[in-house]
Amino acid sequence: MALWAGLGQAATVAQLVGVDAGGLISLITQAALTARQNKKACEQLSRRVHMIADLLPHLQEPELMRRPEFQRPLAGLGDTLREAHDLVMVCQRKSRFYRFFMSGRLADKFRDIQTSTSQSHPIHVLEGVARFTLAEIAAASNSYAFFTKVGKGTSGTVYRGRLRDGRDVAIKRISKTAQDREMVLRTELAVVPHPRHSHFVRLLGWCAEEDERLLVTEYMSNGSLHDHLHGRKPPSSPVTASWKTRVEVLLGASRAIKHLHRSFVPSVIHCNIKSSNILLNASWTPRLSDLGFSVRHETGEGEHHYQYQLQVVGKGGYIDPEYCRTGRLTPATDVYSFGVVMLEVLTGRPPVITTRGEEEQGEVQTDLVHFALPLIEAGELDKVLDGRPEPRPTPMQIEALQWVANTAVVCLHRQSILRPRISEVVANLETALRLATG
C-alpha cells in the first residue's frame, strides 16, 4: 500500500510496472517463435503476455488507476515479465544434456509463470457488463440442464437461460478442457472491448468463480446462419427460402468484420469467422459472435502488413491457406474465411463436403472452395447455386448472386495481398443487395 501512496492517487501503468512492459512482451513473443524446446509452453506463455499488452492501453485513465483491483496485479507485473523472458530464453538452448536434466524443473517453472501472468492481468470491466455469481448463473440455466443446451462451439457449450429480470440470455460455459480457457474469457472481456454495434452479439456479463469461467450474452432466438443453411432449421425460414435475406445476412456480417478491422486502433482480427458464429436475432438481423480468439493487429504498412500469430482457432475449410504455410496473420485472414461463408450462402453446402467414393475409398472429403471455385470461374454459377430458395431467381437476382460469387473468388485468393479489403467486400455486397431487392 505504501508503494501506491508514494505514487499518488492516480499512479501510471509505467510507474506501477516499473519496466518497459511493451518492450519485454515483444522480446518474449520473438523468443517464443524460435524456442528449441518446450515450444508449446513458450507459445502459450507468449499468448498470455500478449493479452496483457493488449489491455495496457485501456488502463491509462486516471480513474481506473486509482482502483486497487487494477493497482495490485500491475505492481507485480514487471517481475513476472522478467521471469517469463528469462524462461523463454532458456528454451533457446540446444544441448540435449541440458534439456534432459532441466525438463522437469522447466515444466514446474512454466506452471508458476502461467499462474503469475494470470494474476498480473486485471480484468477490464466494461460499462454495462455485469459480474454474475455462480449461483445466479446456475439459477438462470437450471444448473446447465440438458434441455437448456443450444449448441457447442470451439471453446465451450452454450445454454439458454433466463435472468431474474426476465431477460432471455445465452450462457457460454467455457470448457475445462479448452486450451487456455482463461485466455478466452479475458479476451472477450479485455483484449477486444465489446463494440456497441448493431451487428455484434452484445455481452451482458461474466462469471469467474471456483473453477468455472462463463460469459453471458443476449439470446439469439433464430440460431446461426449455419443452422439455416445446413439443415437444423425448417425450409420455410427466410434464410433458407430467400436470396435477398441471404445477401442481407452476408452484408450485416461483413459490416461487423469491417468494424473490427477499421474502427479499432490497432485493428482487430477476429480469427474465427464461420457461419456458426453469425447469429440471427428475432428480427433476422445478423450478429457476429465469439470474439474470444480475436487478436490486435500490429500497425504496419497498410492493410496487409502481417504479424506472426501462434494459434488461430478455426475449422477445416475456413482457415487461410497462407496462414497454414507461413504462420502470418493479417486482416486478410478474416477475409478468406468470410469468402468461404459466401460460398456456403451461394451453394447451401458446408465448408467441407463429404461424399461416398468407391467402395474401397469409403467417404471422401472435399473443401467447398475446391468444389465451387472452378465452376464459378468458368462462368457456371448456376451449377453450384442452392436450389432451395423459391421462386427461381430473377435475372436481377442472378446478377446480384454473380456479384457475391465474384467477390468470394477474390476473397479466396491464395495470396493474401491480392485479396480485397473488407471495406471493398462491404461495398460489393451493398451493390448485390440493391440488385437482389430490385
| Residues making up the binding site for ATP | 172
Per-residue cell: 271: 480469427
Torsion angle of alpha carbons 415, 268, 223, 201, nearest 10°? Answer: -160
Closest CA to 211 of 174, 156, 172: 174
| Rg, Å, the chain Cα set | 24
- 3-class DSSP state of 8: coil
Closest CA to 249 of 433, 380, 372: 433
Residues 338 and 328 sit within 8 Å (Cβ to Cβ):
no
Strand partners, 174: 156
Give binding residues as ranges: 172
State which H helix or E strand residue 16 sits in.
helix 13-17
Residues 299 and 266 sit within 8 Å (Cβ to Cβ):
yes
Positive/negative CA dihedral, 150, 313, 231, 359: negative
Per-residue cell: 37: 524446446
Residues 260 and 267 sit within 8 Å (Cβ to Cβ):
yes
**229 class by beta-carbon count within 10 Å (0-12 exposed, 13-18 middle, 19+ buried):** buried
Q: How far apart are CA 240 and CA 235, in angstroms?
A: 6
For the chain, the distance separating the N- and C-terminal CA atoms, rounded to the nearest angstrom, is: 67
